[in-house]
Amino acid sequence: MKKKLIIDVDTGVDDAQAIMVALAAPSVEILGITCCHGNTTLDHACKNTLRVLKVCNRLDIPVYRGCAEPLLARKLHAGDFHGKDGLGDAPDPDAPGLELLQKEKAVQAMIKLVNENPGEVTLVATAPLTNLAVAVKLDPSFPEKLKALYIMGGNTESRGNTTVCGEFNFVADPEAAYVVLDRYTCPTHIATWEFSCRNSLPWSFCDTWLAQDTDKAHFMERISCHTRKMVQTERYQKELVAGPGFNSCDTYALAAAIDSSLVTESEEVAVTVELEGTYTRGMMVLDYLDQLDKKHKASIMKKVDCEKFRQMLMDALK
């Protein structure tokens, strides 16, 4: 039986890469893609998702419009990094329009799809966690009906990429991240910022990857141009935890959801999110001392099988 996935995205460049890895995996059935504010506006995130599906000839997969803003925090986008439109400001005049979105809203769709497949759906979240927080508020039993949750977000050593101590997805909606880490007691796997940096690939791999002569590789080449320039800036170099490398952060969470053997080292820790600190709001807190008295522990990814990961990326652009 195929692995059933719902993917919650704010489609910027690495979300696009993650979606394409999922589309290329023969063992996966994508039940739907739900969109959220984040890297770019919600409208752009929806359009970008449809663009990715069009390139992969998979516009049959339903795409849903989710939350346009965080629960309480001020709106935050990553336009500097991903481009104003989230996909490197390299527009496609023939891109599909928003009329292709489903009429049903993302959160309702998530709940419905999971109710139709209880215990079978793996939810992968590569955006701020607003849609997931609203889902558990609407249906408190939602998390227990999931097979597993995979998140790209948070950090382990207070190394920020957005604020001093905060990773983008958690900083963009700290309250939602708090609710999700508190209420989702299903098996939860987290690909943090430091983990993704430490498992990044050599840039020479990225060159080979993009040099494949396919429509998908040409698309990826075009939308990646802007971020490839950005990663060379001094500001970005300071964010890196482990030196320069090609870091497709969202793809780690997605690839691990597809093939759990990808993760070769992880640790189980109870986690929460700081909501008040002047410098630390949005930072993930790891409770090694068990002071929070939380029964539920998340699995924090540490290392992946890089060879397997490369192969999944290569297959995504074939």
In the range 65-84, which residues lie near ligand BDR by CB under 6 A?
78, 81
Residue 173 sits in the site that holds ligand BDR (CB under 6 A) = no
In the range 115-154, which residues lie near ligand BDR by CB under 6 A?
126, 152
Residue 161 sits in the site that holds ligand BDR (CB under 6 A) = yes
Q: What are the distances in angstroms from CA 17 to CA 119, 125, 134, 251, 312?
A: 27, 14, 26, 6, 10
Interacting residues of 251 by C-beta distance below 8 A, sequence separation 6+: 14, 17, 18, 21, 309, 312, 313
For the bound state, the minimum distance from the C-beta of residue 156 to ligand BDR, rounded and expressed in Å, comes to 13
Contact between 201 and 309 under an 8 Å Cβ cutoff? The reply is: yes
- Among candidate residues 10, 14, 15, 173, the one labeled active-site is 10
Binding-site size, ligand BDR (CB under 6 A): 15
- Kindly tell me the sign of the dihedral angle through the C-alpha atoms of 59, 87, 104, 137: positive
For the bound state, the minimum distance from the C-beta of residue 152 to ligand BDR, rounded and expressed in Å, comes to 5
For the bound state, the minimum distance from the C-beta of residue 233 to ligand BDR, rounded and expressed in Å, comes to 15
For the bound state, the minimum distance from the C-beta of residue 10 to ligand BDR, rounded and expressed in Å, comes to 7
Q: Is 315 an active-site residue?
A: no
- Could you tell me where the beta strands, DSSP code E, fall in 117-258? 121-125, 146-152, 188-191
Stretch 204-243: interaction string toward ligand BDR, x if CB under 6 A: ----------------------------------------
The three-point CA angle 120-124-125 to 5° equals 145
Q: What are the distances in angstroms from CA 235 to CA 40, 224, 230, 239, 278?
A: 20, 18, 9, 7, 21
Q: What b/e sequence results for 93-113 when a residue is b if at least 16 CB atoms lie within 10 Å of its CB, and e otherwise?
A: eeebeeeebeeebbbbbbbeb
Residue 15 sits in the site that holds ligand BDR (CB under 6 A) = yes
Residue 155 sits in the site that holds ligand BDR (CB under 6 A) = no
| Residue of 101, 249, 255, 312 interacting with ligand BDR (CB under 6 A) | 249
**Cα pseudo-dihedral 306, 213, 28, 137, rounded to 10:** 80
Residue 88 sits in the site that holds ligand BDR (CB under 6 A) = no
Return the range that interacts with ligand BDR (CB under 6 A); candidates 10-18, 92-100, 202-210, 301-309. Answer: 10-18
Binding site for ligand BDR (CB under 6 A): 12, 14-15, 39, 78, 81, 126, 152, 161, 167-169, 193, 249-250
- The residues assigned a catalytic role are 10
